[in-house]
């Protein structure tokens, strides 16, 4: 099942040319990720300040198919995929209406927040991957 997040592009998201600054698309994708966690029952305050585990992004990419402008209404769909016992990827599809305007990908690893060493994904993250994954 795919999770979809809707958002309108704001002036603050754009650059001097009036189009969305490329890095801000990743910010919007991260908003979608956070929203999917919240809908799945995660307490975001606890999740992002958890001293036992962290999920840093180790890779990110975006492909643009057309410019995005202030006022555009976006639908951001995400599909997570487990890669290994300690990592997952999230594929994002950004649409305006029925048209795909960009695609993004983030890869995350699960680490012990104190030692910074890789560790297995928690059962809670496993359930989130099952809920929204392919």
Catalytic residue ranges: 15
Q: How many residues does the chain have?
A: 134
The total of other beta-carbon atoms located within 10 Å of residue 38's CB is: 12
Q: What are phi and psi of 112, to 5 degrees?
A: -70, 125
Strands 73-84 and 3-8, bridge-based pairing: antiparallel
Distance CA 111, CA 124 (A): 15
User: For residue 26, what are its two tokens?
Assistant: 């990743």
Strands 57-64 and 99-109, bridge-based pairing: antiparallel
């Amino acid at each position: 099942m795919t999770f979809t997040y809707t958002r309108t592009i704001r002036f603050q998201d754009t650059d001097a040319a009036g189009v969305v600054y490329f890095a801000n698309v990743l910010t919007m994708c991260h908003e979608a990720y956070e929203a999917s966690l919240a809908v799945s029952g995660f307490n975001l305050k606890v999740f992002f300040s958890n001293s036992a585990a962290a999920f840093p992004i180790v890779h990110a990419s975006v492909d643009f198919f057309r410019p995005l402008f202030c006022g555009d209404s976006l639908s951001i769909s995400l599909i997570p995929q487990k890669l290994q016992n300690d990592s997952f990827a999230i594929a994002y599809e950004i649409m305006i209406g029925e048209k795909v305007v960009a695609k993004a990908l983030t890869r995350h690893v699960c680490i012990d927040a104190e030692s910074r060493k890789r560790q297995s994904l928690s059962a809670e993250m496993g359930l989130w991957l099952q809920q929204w994954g392919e």
